[in-house]
Amino acid sequence: MTNLTIKTINSTLVVDSRLIAAELGINHKSFKETIRTYQVDFEEFGNIAVHSGSIIGPGKPETFYYLNEAQANLSLTYSNNTPIVRQAKIKLIKAFEAAKEALKTLN
């Protein structure tokens, strides 16, 4: 399992889609496909932030998403409620709550 690290980008708390996929124990490519399939749903909660990571394979950079809290929670609602998914939901909620608390102490 991974550590669901929450970042702040442009004053918005976000999580890397690669971390969510790892937490769910699924291939990141499959997770991205879910996001693309339901893109309209995700965009109800803001723009989907697409980013490029390190180069994988012959010159192709890896793409990933930074999802805000609502988008991240939505992504998990599209997963079956297996024990792994339920634990991922709990970890995600706790990670965002901890990030919000940390921001309060900075202000």
The model's pLDDT over 7-63, given as tens digits with 9 standing for 90+, comes to: 999 999 999 999 999 999 999 999 999 999 999 999 999 999 898 877 666 767 789
CA 21 to chain centre: 8
pTM of the shown model = 0.88
For the beta carbon of residue 68, count every other beta carbon within 10 angstroms: 20
Q: Write down the pLDDT at residue 42.
A: 97
Task: Examine residue 15 and state whether it is found in any structural domain, yes or no.
Answer: yes
Task: Examine residue 58 and state whether it is found in any structural domain, yes or no.
Answer: yes
Q: Write down the pLDDT at residue 79.
A: 92
Q: How many domains does the structure of the chain reveal?
A: 1
Question: Parallel, antiparallel, or unpaired for β 60-68 and 12-16?
Answer: antiparallel
Give residue 79's domain range. 6-106
Q: Cα separation of 25 and 78, whole Å?
A: 15
Task: Examine residue 30 and state whether it is found in any structural domain, yes or no.
Answer: yes
Task: Examine residue 1 and state whether it is found in any structural domain, yes or no.
Answer: no
Nearest by Cα to 17 from 34, 100, 9: 34
Q: Write down the pLDDT at residue 55.
A: 65
Q: Cα separation of 9 and 1, whole Å?
A: 24
Task: Examine residue 21 and state whether it is found in any structural domain, yes or no.
Answer: yes
Q: Write down the pLDDT at residue 1.
A: 44
Query: For 33, phi and psi rounded to 5 degrees?
Result: -65, -40
